[in-house]
Amino acid sequence: MERLVGSRVSVRQRVGERDGRPLYSDAVGDLVEDRSGLVVNTRRGPVRIDPDAVVAARAVPPAAPRRAGLAAIVALESLCADAWPAAVDEPLGAWRLRAAGGFTGRANSALAIGDPGLPIPDALAAVVAFAQRTGTRPRVQVPVGSPWDQAVERAGWVLDVGHAAGAEVAVLVGDLATIAGAPVPVPVELPERPDPEWFREEYAPAARAVLDPGGAPPVGFGIARAGTHDGTHDGTAVLGRVRACLVADHVHVAMLHTAEAARGRGIATGMLAAAAAWGRERGARWMVLQVALHNAGARSLYGRVGMVEHHRYRYLVPPG
């Protein structure tokens, strides 16, 4: 089995017996290895594998990607934008012109998810004028393969290859009930006002406005601390942090970070589980997050807890 780690596999394992006859279960998906063993990430969620129970395993071709419908993509992009509110957010028809002092591409781009109400060249001229007025770089965030993606590309705009955080991004979704079942190795709190330790970095006011919108929408400022023998924390060692934002029936997750000295202990998985539980307590059903395509480590982590790709978007900028 270990030789198949990293591959898409079909695994049959024995799960019991009935009336003296063995019972089997099949799992098809990507085979990964975490701290507790082997897992197949299927489309319905992760399936843990007992190597001693496996009766057959083989590599299989990659699955044909399932594309989300355009209406679902638009709805999810709008939700993510609401969860990451830019300091300036102006409508241009169905587009959203956003600026936040340069803090993240998501908050400093025109979200193109519909008819801007103008011919595309005029809409892009408005994007450029908005960027000049707000002191940001002209940039369009657009779902890959959508009509607006194609129209902006036909207008001559190109991939923002200079965007260090990643010009091509996958939007992942997952079931909160599944994610909340992951182990939480240390105490994780998600107060709706940030602990002073949460803002360790110095953020400009426009950036703080994105991270801390003041309660609307609700935000949980997750912080993981070193645990004690009774499951409480000692109030000192901060091992990680995460931002969870509740919008409709989704929890939007961002800013997931584990202290370097604490990596490899399941802290990030625990913070995701705690964020999922926080969302379920508030009536949410789904988790959504955005991750750059080049960030293989993060994508593997999210896959292990059951997150799957919904769609992708990219950033386009004027040529030259």
Other CB atoms within 10 Å distance of the CB of residue 117: 13
Secondary structure of 45-92 in the HEC alphabet? Answer: EEEEECHHHEEEEEECCCCCCCCCCHHHHHHHHHHHHHHCCCCEEEEE
Other CB atoms within 10 Å distance of the CB of residue 301: 19
Q: Do residues 103 and 121 both lie within one domain?
A: yes
CB 174 within 8 A of CB 286: yes
**pLDDT over 90 at 83, yes or no:** yes
Last residue of a domain, one of 132, 165, 198: 165
Residues in the chain: 320
Q: Do residues 102 and 120 both lie within one domain?
A: yes
The answer to the question of residue 316 being in a domain is no
The answer to the question of residue 106 being in a domain is yes
- For the chain, the domain total comes to 3
Q: Do residues 36 and 91 both lie within one domain?
A: no
Last residue of a domain, one of 165, 195, 212: 165
**pLDDT over 70 at 95, yes or no:** yes
Average pLDDT for 185-190: 92
Residue 297 burial by Cβ neighbours in a 10 Å radius (0-12, 13-18, 19+): exposed
Average pLDDT for 161-179: 94
Give residue 318's pLDDT band: very low, low, confident or very high (50, 70, 90).
very high
Describe the strand order of the beta sheet including 45-49 as a list of residue ranges: 45-49, 37-42, 21-34, 8-18, 54-59
When mean pLDDT is compared across 40-44, 171-175, 231-235, 293-297, the lowest value belongs to 231-235
β-pair partners for 222: 242
Average pLDDT for 247-254: 96
The answer to the question of residue 230 being in a domain is yes
Whole-number Å distance between alpha carbons of 237 and 40: 34
Its pTM stands at 0.78
Q: Dihedrals φ, ψ of 268, to 5°?
A: -65, -45
Tens digits of per-residue pLDDT, 35-66? 778 899 887 788 999 999 999 999 887 765 56
| pLDDT score for 92 | 98
Q: Do residues 187 and 293 both lie within one domain?
A: yes
Q: Do residues 136 and 206 both lie within one domain?
A: no
What is the helix (H) or strand (E) element at residue 38, kind and residue range?
strand 37-42
- 199 vs 182, which has greater pLDDT? 182
CATH of the domain at 271: 3.40.630.30
When mean pLDDT is compared across 10-24, 34-48, 85-99, 296-310, the lowest value belongs to 34-48
Residue 115 domain boundaries: 70-165
The answer to the question of residue 320 being in a domain is no
Tens digits of per-residue pLDDT, 267-276? 999 999 999 9
Tokens of 157: 């705009």
Q: Do residues 288 and 177 both lie within one domain?
A: yes
Average pLDDT for 219-226: 93
Average pLDDT for 129-148: 97
Q: Do residues 124 and 252 both lie within one domain?
A: no
Strands 158-159 and 168-175: unpaired
Secondary structure of 99-162 in the HEC alphabet? Answer: ECCCCCCCCCCEECCCCCCCCHHHHHHHHHHHHHHHCCCCCEEEECCCHHHHHHHHCCCEECCC
| pLDDT score for 229 | 39
Q: Do residues 18 and 74 both lie within one domain?
A: no
Q: Do residues 181 and 80 both lie within one domain?
A: no
Whole-number Å distance between alpha carbons of 183 and 272: 10
The answer to the question of residue 317 being in a domain is no
Q: Do residues 145 and 196 both lie within one domain?
A: no
The answer to the question of residue 267 being in a domain is yes
First to last CA, the chain: 49
Q: Do residues 193 and 267 both lie within one domain?
A: yes
- 22 vs 320, which has greater pLDDT? 22
